[in-house]
Structure 1
Amino acid sequence: MDGMLNIKKWAVIYPIYINSKKTVAQGRRISVAKACENPTCIEIGDCCNYLKLPFAIELDKAYPRDFMQRGRVRVLLKREDGSLCNPAIGTKKQLMLQIAELVPKHHGRTKKQESVSTSDAGPSKSRKGGKKKK
């Protein structure tokens, strides 16, 4: 089988690995400071594309520790001959850190975050108000 098609040997990245909302016990693999909020497989795939890495999104797969988390991304870090696809990324850890850095800048996110930040302010104020009354 050709190396490009045998994705069984590719590195697996679950969105949980770089999700700042998860704990290490739940499966986060990088520090909260470097992780990003609720990344999706599509965003991770787009980041791999941006990093010029071959990838495959497997939406039918689930994270073993949390089977409600559907989807994972397979990424080819090294070619058959052992050479790196992207010289800047040699390990899975480096890849996760790179992706986590890129996801917040994702074109699908930049639009969403503006509306989220304004709607977030509403409930938090009312919660603070509730605490004062008690």
Structure 2
Amino acid sequence: MEGELANIKKWNILYPVYINSKKTMAQGRRIGLTKACENPTCAEIGDCCTYFKLPFAIEIDKAYPRDFMQRGRVRVLLKKEDGTLFNPAIASRKQLMLRIAEMVPRHPGRTKKPEAASTSAAGTSTKSGKGGKKRR
């Protein structure tokens, strides 16, 4: 394992932007909008890698060049040194991005938030402005 960890520079890099449905392809999204998830974090991507039994490392000091305000990226190792896959179901970076994008909305830290947000937003939604027709 030491030899694999020392060679971390050769691991695949995943920025959260790659699977963010709020971003366009020009802003860096790498998968289709229907398959992407909303605002993923490095921690959620890391938890998905743990679930898929893939070695990963979160680099918080790094940022995506097109969106340098959002910090963090995840390095993932898909293949062992002998070329065999850690997880036979995930053979490429593209497959990994699609699988992570499926998993992130069901993340335990995420499933509680949308319910609370939707109930409070529904109760406080009032129409601002005077409304009505303007007369001349």
User: Considering the TM-score relative to the shorter chain, is it more than 0.5?
Assistant: yes
Residue 49 (1) aligns with residue 50 (2): yes
Structure 2: give runs of 5+ residues left out of the alignment: none
Cα distance in 2 for partners of 1:55, 1:102 equals 16
What does residue 29 of structure 1 align with?
30
Cα distance in 2 for partners of 1:7, 1:94 equals 20
Alignment CA distance shift 1:81-1:131 (3 Å)? farther
Greater share of helix residues, 1 or 2?
1
Alignment CA distance shift 1:132-1:95 (3 Å)? farther
Cα distance in 2 for partners of 1:24, 1:126 equals 34
Q: TM-score, normalised by structure 1?
A: 0.90
What does residue 62 of structure 2 align with?
61
Pairwise CA RMSD: 1.9
| Number of positions where the alignment pairs a residue of Structure 1 with one of Structure 2 | 132
Please list, as runs of the form range in 1=range in 2, the aligned pairs for 1:10-29 lying within 5 A after superposition.
Answer: 10-29=11-30
Displacement of 1:126 in angstroms is 3.5
Give every structure 1 segment of 4 or more consecutive aligned residues whose post-TM-superposition deviation is greater than 6 Å: none
Displacement of 1:122 in angstroms is 5.1
Q: Secondary structure at the match of 1:8?
A: helix
Cα distance in 2 for partners of 1:68, 1:32 equals 22
Cα distance in 1 for partners of 2:132, 2:102 equals 41
